[in-house]
Amino acid sequence: MSGARRVVITGGAAGLGRAMAEAFLAAGDRVAVCDADAQAVAAIRAAHPEMLAEIADVTDPAALGAFLAGVEAAWGGADIVCANAGTGGPAGRIDEIGYEDWHHCLAVNLDGAFLTCRWAAPILRAQGHGLILLTSSISGLFGFPQRTPYVAAKWGIVGLTKALASELGPSGVRVNAICPGAVEGPRMDRVIAMEAAARGQTEDDVRRGFTEAVALRRFVRAEEVAAMALFLASEGASAITGQALVVDGHTERVA
Ligand SMILES: NC(=O)c1ccc[n+]([C@@H]2O[C@H](COP(=O)([O-])OP(=O)(O)OC[C@H]3O[C@@H](n4cnc5c(N)ncnc54)[C@H](O)[C@@H]3O)[C@@H](O)[C@H]2O)c1
């Protein structure tokens, strides 16, 4: 895979998805993103008119399918498919979690990834090359309390990665997950506010707890996660598959 690769990213109009989209664009690749947030899609279209950007919710198989079919029609395939769309889900003890909230968190994080991978797999298999990149989390490697839906979904992403890597490896297709730690930005600000309310702590205490649980004693930056995506898509990573690669400053304990 070299030259102008064809890169598809779900949840790609903001946050980590946008950082990855912009990193691939800067590397000279072609990029298509979908996102459920119409305003974010309008903003990324305005910033990058060369990018294919559509409104599609990954929990809506018809809308996601229409976006992916459009990509396939425009490009005749894809080289790098990033199942990135995710949501933090609710915070609270398991007996405080509503079934609808549980299911919505699983639907965005896990069902969306399943649908994206199900589209990508036959295309990449037929080409005999390609990369599927899933966004898990440090929550896919540790058991953070009061976040059962998100933790279960992100461990599920690691399982999906392992199984699919074994399924597609013989066809020359690689599958990896990135596990970011807490990323600086509005999404983490929302998570901190939610966890502070659930734990009865101040937001400063929750933020300090997250930071002190990490060897580098800081949050990571979206660009640092995008750099890992670019590495995994590079020739240098040609033997790396079935892995959950962590970009977190080294989490030493559950905050
Ligand atoms: N921010 C962090 O600290 C952090 C840490 C670990 C993992 N992650 C994971 O990284 C991924 C990206 O998160 P982020 O931090 O960029 O969050 P974000 O909220 O900044 O951006 C997520 C993007 O996905 C879109 N999105 C949400 N639900 C969607 C849906 N149903 N269909 C399509 N698009 C949808 C949002 O509109 C938004 O543009 C997620 O899978 C998240 O779980 C984030």
Question: In this predicted model, what pLDDT tens digit does every residue of 20-36 receive, in sequence order?
Answer: 999 999 999 999 999 99
* In a domain? residue 216: no
* In a domain? residue 190: no
Q: Which atom of ligand 1 is nearest to the CA of 14?
A: 39
Q: Report the 10 Å Cβ neighbour count for 10.
A: 29
Tell me: the pLDDT tens digits for 118-167?
999 999 999 999 999 999 999 999 999 999 999 999 999 999 999 999 99
* In a domain? residue 235: yes
The token pair that represents 231 in the structure block: 């590495």
CATH number at residue 50: 3.40.50.720
pLDDT above 70 coverage of the chain, percent: 99
pLDDT score for 3: 59
Binned at pLDDT 50, 70 and 90, residue 174 comes out as: very high
Residue nearest atom 41 of ligand 1, based on CA coordinates: 86
Instruction: Round to whole Å and give the CA distance between 146 and 149.
Output: 9
Instruction: Round to whole Å and give the CA distance between 165 and 185.
Output: 31
* In a domain? residue 163: yes
The catalytic residues are: 150
Nearest to 20 by CA among 166, 154, 183, 164: 183
Domain total in the chain: 1
Cα atoms found within 13 Å of the Cα of residue 93, Cβ hemisphere only: 4
Instruction: Round to whole Å and give the CA distance between 132 and 113.
Output: 10
Cβ 137 under 6 angstroms from ligand 1:
yes
pLDDT above 90 coverage of the chain, percent: 96
Cβ 83 under 6 angstroms from ligand 1:
no
222 exposure class (CB count in 10 Å sphere: 0-12, 13-18, 19+):
buried
Question: Best mutation site among 39, 135, 154, 158 for ligand 1, i.e. most ligand atoms within 8 A of its Cβ?
Answer: 135
* In a domain? residue 188: no
Tell me: the pLDDT tens digits for 51-89?
999 999 999 999 999 999 999 999 999 999 999 999 999
pLDDT score for 255: 80
The pair phi, psi for residue 244, each rounded to 5°, is: -110, 100
Q: What is the pTM of this model?
A: 0.97
Beta strands in 75-226 (DSSP E): 80-83, 130-135, 173-180
Cβ 57 under 6 angstroms from ligand 1:
yes
* In a domain? residue 193: no
Share the mean pLDDT of the chain.
97
Cβ 180 under 6 angstroms from ligand 1:
yes
Nearest to 92 by CA among 209, 188, 194: 194
pLDDT score for 251: 97
Tell me: the pLDDT tens digits for 66-76?
999 999 999 99
Q: Is the C-alpha dihedral spanning 17, 69, 232, 168 positive or negative? A: positive
CA distances from 179 to 26, 133, 152, 176, 194 (A): 23, 11, 14, 10, 21
2: pLDDT strictly greater than 70? no
Whether the CB-CB separation of 34 and 67 falls below 8 Å is answered with: yes
- Structural domain boundaries, residue 38: 6-182+221-247
* In a domain? residue 1: no
Going by DSSP bridges, is the β-strand pair 173-180/244-247 parallel, antiparallel, or unpaired?
parallel
Instruction: Round to whole Å and give the CA distance between 32 and 52.
Output: 4
Cβ 248 under 6 angstroms from ligand 1:
no
* In a domain? residue 129: yes
Q: Report the 10 Å Cβ neighbour count for 13.
A: 28
